[in-house]
Structure 1
């Protein structure tokens, strides 16, 4: 006689339920052992009966060690999923820049196109804050450039002063007289040789 198909629902008869539990539990544990042997897998099975009795099987090592391995693996998988779901810093930065560009473009259209209905009050406040930040950054960069140019001019001034002192000393040395203009009966200017490195700005 052919065996009928078992309906997947709770067995109401307590005796039949207990017999089915024992048979299927034994079959499940047997299949777990076979899987471990045939595939060299580390298999763990935990079963609680309807009255709370525990049945477990660990094919390699202890159940506690297997559970600890599971917890570590599950934690790593959870962290990996969270990282995958969270946008990277570069993506967040790109999104922020896109929003700023869109806001600036909208502000330019509003400025040159006119019309108060193009932008909301919140957008205007946000645009004002961005403009203040940009102006501060531009002014700061401008001051840095001006400071660098002033320092460069001061350096050139020092070089020119050193060259002037060198020329003055050379003239006084050739004339042999201090604080008296040299006389040159021929009217030809004195030929002075000055090292080139003095004028390397």
Structure 2
């Protein structure tokens, strides 16, 4: 018969709890003995029942095992304390180094803004000049890229508007414009012709006629 999974909680029935304590206590002490023999380990187990009775097992002298435990526990606490102190010192050192780097960056930033240059040598000034030239070049390149992207966006919007205009003219029954890519040229052409027609010119062939002056 397969045993069901025991739920890990306090057994309410006192008699059942006492029976379970006795069985598991003996099993635990047996396992501790087997561990000490099979693995040549120093094992000590202390068990206090609900009524305060002591049950114990030790593969060596219990007092010596407890003293050994205390020494190791103390050493572990001291080691942890040393590790903590070292970590704190390391963090303090890293913080100090970071503050120094921030101060250096502030000084460098001030020099790029033209501040604190009196203490700079010719070589340092030349290096600052070169860095500024390089930065300005990068800015110009990026600016040109943005302008190019904006122009492309505007051209795309223009094409869409021309296509929508042509579609609306067809829906309204008017003569369609040329192909959307040629519509701009057509508009420009008509605009120029309209302006030229409004300009009066006085062109003639031959010698100019003398103008009569009234007396």
TM range (shorter): 0.3 to 0.5
For the pair shown, which has the larger CA radius of gyration, 1 or 2?
2
* TM-score, with length taken from structure 1: 0.48
**Greater relative CO, 1 or 2 (CA 8 Å, sep 6+):** 1
